[in-house]
């Protein structure tokens, strides 16, 4: 059974159907890309998965270790905390005035907060909390090393270069210990070298963590290189689905991206 099953997802904003009866699945250990021209409804799907929007129709079922979570019925913060869906944002949303390390510790808030016995143990400085904090710092350090930001650990997150901020946001999402990682245009604004590093990082996450990755991306070189499965949206509807080779050859996809002869003639 798939980790995430999305069935007949439909979202309307007034008269506009932003997402129209879209179904797809995301599997463990695989990278599923959602592509499509601007305004196709990709980010809306993400916002729905992470609880920022509620779908009008449809079911989003996340199967975590035999337990089923119906995402459309959960609050946004519970989707992240309990179902284990982590995301990054198209326009980076770090905590800019906090340090890199603090960003990664905030991501482990729920674990730490429980360990601090809702602050009490922490206030008294009990060892139970100190150990939990050490573990959290160790986890953060491990991720900092994996994204190559160990040296910047005590710098303000907002002062990092753009590419580093993108990688930090991914590290932060990974620190929540997710089952499903949703990356919203992680390569936007990166130069070719940084894009290649990013592709390597995502592949590394896929190889070493037992999670599913959902990816929205415009950079086709990244998408075609790392995706196992691609879902193509256009005007809110799914127009194609398959592996990179199939998508590249699909006439409907080419038409959506480049326009058709009839449209040009019209």
Partner 1 sequence: MPFPQALREALMAAFVALMLAIPLIGFRLADTMQGLAIETRFDWVAWGVSAVFVGRLVLGLLRGRGRPLGLAIKMPALPPNASTMFALVLGVFALVLPFTPLGDRYTVELAITVLIYVMLGWGLNIVVGLAGLLDLGYVAFYAVGAYSYALFAINFGWSFWLCLPIAGVLAAMFGVMLGFPVLRLRGDYLAIVTLGFGEMIRVILLNWKEFSGGSAGLTSIPRPSFFGFPFTANPEPGQTAFHELFGLEFSPLQRIIFLYYLIFALALLTNFFTLRMRKLPIGRAWEALREDEIACRALGINPTNVKLSAFALGAMFGGFAGAFFATRQGFISPESFNFIESAVILAIVVLGGMGSQLGVVIAAAFLILIPELLRDFSQYRMIMFGFAMVLIMLWRPQGLVAHREPSIRLGAKA
Give the interface with partner 1 as residue ranges (CB under 8 A): 50-52, 76-82, 86-87, 89, 93-99, 101-102, 105-107, 109-110, 112-113, 116, 118-119, 122-123, 129, 137, 141, 144, 150-151, 153-154, 172-173, 176
Residue closer to partner 1 (CB basis): 211 or 247: 211
Minimum gap (Å) between residue 78 Cβ and partner 1: 7
Minimum gap (Å) between residue 62 Cβ and partner 1: 14
Q: Where are the beta strands (DSSP E) in the chain?
A: 4-13, 16-26, 31-35, 57-64, 67-70, 85-87, 180-184, 212-216, 229-234, 237-242
Minimum gap (Å) between residue 211 Cβ and partner 1: 15
Residue 67 CA to residue 60 CA, distance in Å, equals: 14
| Residue 43, helix vs strand vs coil | helix
Residue closer to partner 1 (CB basis): 40 or 149: 149
Question: Phi and psi for 21 in degrees, rounded to 5?
Answer: 50, 55
Residue closer to partner 1 (CB basis): 174 or 256: 174
Minimum gap (Å) between residue 209 Cβ and partner 1: 17
Q: Strands 237-242 and 229-234: what pairing? A: antiparallel
Minimum gap (Å) between residue 53 Cβ and partner 1: 13
Say if CB 152 and CB 164 are below 8 A apart: yes
Residue closer to partner 1 (CB basis): 17 or 98: 98
Residue closer to partner 1 (CB basis): 107 or 216: 107
CB 256: neighbour CB atoms within 10 A?
A: 20
């Amino acid at each position: 059974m798939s980790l995430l099953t999305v069935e007949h997802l439909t979202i309307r904003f007034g008269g506009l159907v932003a997402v129209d009866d879209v179904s797809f699945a995301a599997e463990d250990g695989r990278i599923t890309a959602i592509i499509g021209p601007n305004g196709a409804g990709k980010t809306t799907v993400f916002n729905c998965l992470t609880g920022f929007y509620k779908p009008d129709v449809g079911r989003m079922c996340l199967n975590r270790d035999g337990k089923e979570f119906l995402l459309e019925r959960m609050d946004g913060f519970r989707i992240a905390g309990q179902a284990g869906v982590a995301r990054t944002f198209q326009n980076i949303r770090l905590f800019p005035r906090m340090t890199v390390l603090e960003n990664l510790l905030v991501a482990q808030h729920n674990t730490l907060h429980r360990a601090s016995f809702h602050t009490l143990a922490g206030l008294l400085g009990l060892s139970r909390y100190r150990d939990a904090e050490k573990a959290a710092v160790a986890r953060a350090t491990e991720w900092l090393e994996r994204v190559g930001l160990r040296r910047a650990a005590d710098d303000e997150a907002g002062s990092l270069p753009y590419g580093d901020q993108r990688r930090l946001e991914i590290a932060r999402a990974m620190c929540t210990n997710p089952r499903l990682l949703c990356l919203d245009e992680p390569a936007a604004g990166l130069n070719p070298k940084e894009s290649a590093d990013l592709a390597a990082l995502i592949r590394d996450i896929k190889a070493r963590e037992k999670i599913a990755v959902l990816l929205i991306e415009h950079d086709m070189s990244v998408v075609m290189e790392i995706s196992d499965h691609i879902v193509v949206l256009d005007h809110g509807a799914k127009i194609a689905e398959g592996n990179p080779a199939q998508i590249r050859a699909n006439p409907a996809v080419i038409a959506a991206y480049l326009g058709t002869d009839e449209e040009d003639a019209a």
